[in-house]
Amino acid sequence: MAGPCDSPNEVTQYNLPNVLPDMEKSLARELPGTPWDNHRMPVIADDLARALRDARFVAVLTGAGVSAESGVPTFRDALTGLWANFDPLELATPAAFRRKPKLVWDWYAGRRAQLGRVQPNPGHHAIARIEALAPSFLLATQNVDGLHARAGSRKLVELHGNIARVRCSDEPRRVVETWDDAGDGPPRCPHCGAFLRPDVVWFEESLPAHALIAAEDAARACDLLIVAGTSGEVYPAAALPQYAKAAGAIVVEVNPTATPLSALADHVLRLPSGVALPALVRAAWGEDAMRD
């Protein structure tokens, strides 16, 4: 298993406990009058709209919540039905794959099949519009579902890989285009015979160094960082808002529930991203800004 000591250019992802104080008490800003059931026309504060419009470099960090309105379950929500009795650590770790390769392969195969039936939502499209409208831009996503690219995002780094890609479990760079799913275990690498696995980053594994470095550079260089749909508990991605804040950027959180990142945000939009992000784009660049 790779770790920081084996590969100095890569950083291992840790699932840290929530160590920050109770965010409900320390919310930086919360929009008044936007209850859950009445969020069709969210009000975006003028200073936030202006900050987005005037930013030279906008960075965006997304997590599973951004795909929730597309019908892609977030990590914990995904463990329903057949998978209700599994902990994510029983499915999304190298040790789990060594112990039960077929179980892990089947879970990901099910999720991959599910992705063929879902579409990007207005939140994904709004992020692609910000890329088109901001002078400089980078999107760093923890999502493995490929929906950002399908919505038109191009300046994009995938911190945790992509579930649509399959690779050899022994040769990390060997991506395989076709495989035979018929056997008792996961299909085998046509080159070396090892099991194939999804090209995603599991807990305790290293993030792709180029993606993480690009994301960290963007966090430190941007004027404004939007953090949408992430629980802020999975490191190192969860450190990116802290870097941005420390470097003087404006941090905007979009999440219906409080997270450990809420306390450092300058603006908090307690709304689903499919509602908040298009509203943000329109407030910054005008009513037509969501149209190509």
Tell which one of 69, 131, 199, 253 touches ligand NAD (CB under 6 A).
69
The dihedral region occupied by 81, where left means phi > 0, alpha psi between -120 and 50, and beta the remainder, is: left
Q: Is 149 in the site for Zn ion (CB under 5 A)?
A: no
Q: Is 273 in the site for ligand NAD (CB under 6 A)?
A: yes
The dihedral region occupied by 257, where left means phi > 0, alpha psi between -120 and 50, and beta the remainder, is: beta
CA-based nearest residue to 280, from 120, 130, 60 = 130
Q: Is 126 in the site for Zn ion (CB under 5 A)?
A: no
Out of Zn ion, ligand NAD, none, what residue 189 binds, judged by CB under 5 to 8 A for its kind, is Zn ion
Q: Give the separation between CA 105 and CA 100, rounded to whole angstroms.
A: 9
Out of ligand NAD, Zn ion, none, what residue 72 binds, judged by CB under 5 to 8 A for its kind, is ligand NAD
Neighbours of 180 (CB within 10 A): 9
Q: Is 168 in the site for Zn ion (CB under 5 A)?
A: yes
Find the shortest distance in angstroms from Cβ 197 to Zn ion: 10
> In the block, which residue shows the tokens 């923890």?
142
Q: Is 192 in the site for Zn ion (CB under 5 A)?
A: yes
Neighbours of 132 (CB within 10 A): 14
Q: Is 169 in the site for ligand NAD (CB under 6 A)?
A: no
- Asked if residue 71 lies in contact with residue 118, where contact means CB atoms within 8 angstroms, the answer is yes
List of residues contacting ligand NAD (CB under 6 A) = 63-69, 72, 74-76, 78, 142-145, 160, 228-231, 234, 254-257, 259, 272-273
User: Which residues here bind Zn ion, judged by CB under 5 A?
Assistant: 168, 171, 189, 191-192, 194
